Amino acid sequence: MALPRQGRCRAGRNLEKRERIWAMGSRKGLERFLKETLRDIEAKRRIQKTKKRELRFAQKHTSVHFDEEKRRKVLAYFGPYYPVDPIFHEFYTEKTGVFDERYIPNDCYYSYINSFYNNAAAARVLDNKCFYTRMFGDRCKYPRTLAYRMNRFWYDENMSPLSGADLMRLVGEAKEIVVKKATESVGGHGVSFLSGGDIAAQFEKTCGEITGDIVVQYPFRQHEELSRLHAESVNTVRVMSLLRKDGEVKICSVVVRIGIGDSRVDNAGSGGIICGVREDGRLKDRAFKPQGDVFHTHPTNGEHFSDHTVPSFEAIKKLVRELHPLVPHFRLVSWDISVDEAGDPVLIETNLNYGELEFHQLCNGPVFGEDTRQILDEVFQK
């Protein structure tokens, strides 16, 4: 039994694969058949769960509904691929004031596109800040590191084993340190800034509350142009890139994440805002929160976004193009890069799976632009 043409992506190919396995008729073939079936059931469960979550988000933050003409355009564009709900297009159109049938619906991105391009199982292992120097080596700069903790073992900045006494000596000598969860530090959560005379006690308490891997860094000093946006936080450039089948790295979208108030992190999940970046590195004239709230000036310092330019912008894009081929199991990656006082790009974080979509489409429009149809054809095997 073959799937109908519509919606026939990875699930369809897996069904055909199971049919071939079943035809083998052996015990080993049966075991593989059951394994593949259970895997597909779990994949479908995740897709439904993701769709419900994203629908709730869009319904909560959308009040505008399309007329029949716009609905037909959206359905005509995505109908050959999957059963689209126009609510996501309504969300982006309402918040940006611009209608475009090429907006990628959130459920399509997280359930189909991301899962097609990225190996989720590998990401659970490799999406770890402790591994960056091993994955990317000396091809880029990183924030200065004091220590790593992996599987409860401590290592120094060169990945040499570190005794408890030496670790606490380094901590005690530091005026300030930043303790980060090495995995799943979503939205800036899991990041702690420690300082003061009792820094050692703070450190032990903080690390004791984290069950997984940890990276301990010294405070990062960013470029003065990024500090002008918001001095209290490290502001980062989020670059989404696609590794094409021919090995070319396509820069899909670039935004700047900016902190507000007294926050020391720039993450939107911790209250920060996001501003789009033009092709020449200049910021656009408005910023957003993920829910679609719009800002024409910085809410804390009143800075006009369009008065600013991302420092070393070409060097940032060049770095992404050099690093992405090193992680070929993840073809759609979001990179968080800052710029140090010397003007050099510094890798802060990689998002090998589930990089945010809303950031880019609110600020820059359809995330794949003129390549949207080509992307959908590849994902849905047209």
In a shared domain, residues 79 and 65 = yes
381 domain-assigned: no
CATH number at residue 241: 3.30.470
Same domain, 323 and 203: no
**Count of structural domains, the chain:** 3
Q: What is the structure's pLDDT at 354?
A: 82
User: 207 with 287, same domain?
Assistant: no
Is 104 part of any domain? Answer: yes
Look up the pTM and report it: 0.87
Residue-number span of the structural domain to which 134 is assigned: 120-139+221-352
pLDDT tier, 355 (very low <50, low <70, confident <90, very high otherwise): confident
Do residue 106 and residue 149 come from a single domain? no
- Decide if 363 is inside a domain: no
Model confidence pLDDT, tens digit, residues 200-243: 999 999 999 999 999 999 999 999 999 999 999 999 999 999 99
Q: Indicate if 109 and 155 belong to the same structural domain.
A: no
| Same domain, residue pair 126 and 151 | no
pLDDT in tens, 70-94: 999 999 999 999 999 999 999 999 9
Q: How many Å apart are CA 166 and CA 136, to the nearest integer?
A: 27
Please tell me the least confidently modeled range out of 10-19, 281-290, 306-315. 10-19
- pLDDT tens, position by position, 90-137: 999 999 999 999 999 999 999 999 999 999 889 999 999 999 999 999
Q: Is the domain of 25 the same as that of 71?
A: yes
230 shares its domain with 330: yes
Residue 186: what pLDDT? 67
In terms of domains, do 25 and 172 share one?
no
Domain end (from 161, 193, 217): 217
Q: Assess whether 158 and 194 both reside in one domain.
A: yes
Kindly report the CATH number assigned to the domain that includes residue 157: 3.30.1490
- Report pLDDT for 52: 86
Domain boundary among 175, 199, 217: 217
Q: Are residues 204 and 235 in the same domain?
A: no
State the pLDDT confidence band at 379, using cuts at 50, 70 and 90. Answer: very high
pLDDT > 90? residue 23: no
Dump pLDDT digits (tens) for 156-178.
999 999 999 999 999 999 999 99
pLDDT score at 19: 59
Phi, psi at 303, each rounded to 5°: -65, 140
pLDDT exceeds cutoff 60 at 37 = yes
Judge whether 3 lies within some domain: no
Residues 73, 134, single domain; the answer is: no
Residue 4 binned pLDDT confidence (cut-offs 50, 70, 90): very low
Last residue of a domain, one of 168, 193, 217: 217
